[in-house]
């Protein structure tokens, strides 16, 4: 089967109601999935297991960044793993986007392909809420690093990368700041980056799970302190 060398890493915290469907439908295309149950208090773990994914459970809730790191560490030691995908548990990412990104990684000389919500001219069907659009664009404008890398979307959760990135990955921001940390790593480690326009599905469910914009303050302070933490 094609895509045996691809591993989906799905961090999951209290997503019991949707995770089984998300994983089952992703598994039709990508047989290898590791879902990291980040100390959920609902039936997420059982749902993950019955969807046929590999289950790794944090004994306590640590945050999304920590869950992604755990998932990548699990996936990178699996035999035959060559490509790695960070994928959300709430169904806002689409398998067809991942497929296109993996194909690009196979064909082009890049290490990591990042999804962007702003990759093409604005259309009728776009669902990114106005306030999110403004804030995300402002973040991009304010970040010299993001601009240097040519990224147009500051915090997209959909990323596909190769072994070089996976072996090198060491996220220390446990919470939502891992997205900025990821960008910082792309820049400092010299990974070759490409962007791919993707569609994010903003369902009622994923909106309710979404981040508050105020969390940007936490992300900023994490960025300042992060430099002081040992690698």
Partner 1 sequence: MIKALLLLAGAALVAFFLANRRKARAKAGVKIGFVLFVVFMVYAVMRPDDLTVVANALGVQRGTDLVLYALVMGFAFVTVSTYVRFREQEMRYARLARSIALQNAVRPEDQPDATAVTPAADDDDRLRR
Give contact residues for partner 1 (rule: CB under 8 A).
34, 36, 39-46, 49, 52-63, 66, 69-70, 73-74, 172, 174, 225, 228-230
Nearer to partner 1 (CB atom), residue 73 or residue 103: 73
- CB 43, min distance to partner 1, A: 7
- CB 143, min distance to partner 1, A: 21
- CB 177, min distance to partner 1, A: 11
Nearer to partner 1 (CB atom), residue 33 or residue 151: 33
Q: State whether residue 195 is helix, strand or coil.
A: strand
Nearer to partner 1 (CB atom), residue 87 or residue 118: 87
Nearer to partner 1 (CB atom), residue 62 or residue 194: 62
Q: Which two tokens stand for residue 177?
A: 């700041």
CB 114 within 8 A of CB 193: yes
Give the strand pairing for 159-162 and 83-86. antiparallel
Q: Which two tokens stand for residue 190?
A: 């010299």
Give the strand pairing for 6-12 and 83-86. parallel
Q: Which two tokens stand for residue 53?
A: 């994914």
Backbone angles phi, psi at 151, to 5 degrees: -90, 145
- CB 41, min distance to partner 1, A: 5
Nearer to partner 1 (CB atom), residue 51 or residue 85: 51
- CB 127, min distance to partner 1, A: 32
Instruction: Please name which of 143, 190, 147, 145 lies closest in space to residue 165, comparing C-alpha atoms.
Output: 190
Backbone angles phi, psi at 205, to 5 degrees: -65, -50
């Amino acid at each position: 089967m094609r895509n045996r060398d691809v591993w989906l890493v799905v961090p999951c915290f209290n997503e019991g109601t949707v995770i089984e469907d998300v994983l089952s439908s992703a598994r039709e295309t990508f047989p290898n999935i590791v879902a990291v149950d980040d100390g959920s208090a609902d039936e997420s773990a059982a749902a993950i297991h019955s969807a046929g994914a590999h289950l790794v459970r944090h004994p306590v809730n640590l945050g999304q960044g920590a869950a992604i790191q755990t998932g990548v560490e699990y996936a990178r030691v699996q035999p035959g793993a060559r490509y790695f995908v960070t994928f959300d548990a709430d169904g806002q990412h689409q398998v067809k986007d991942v497929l296109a990104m993996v194909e690009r990684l196979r064909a082009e000389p890049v290490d990591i392909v990042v999804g962007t919500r702003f990759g093409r001219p604005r259309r009728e069907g776009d669902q990114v809420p106005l306030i999110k659009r403004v804030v995300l664009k402002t973040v991009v404008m304010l970040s010299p690093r993001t601009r240097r890398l040519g990224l147009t979307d500051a915090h997209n959760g959909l990323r596909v990368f190769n072994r070089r990135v996976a072996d090198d990955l060491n996220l220390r921001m446990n919470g939502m700041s891992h997205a900025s940390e990821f960008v910082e790593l792309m820049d400092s480690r010299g990974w070759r980056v490409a962007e791919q326009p993707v569609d994010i599905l903003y369902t009622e469910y994923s909106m309710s799970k979404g981040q508050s914009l105020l969390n940007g303050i936490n992300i900023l302070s994490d960025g300042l302190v992060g430099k002081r933490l040992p690698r």
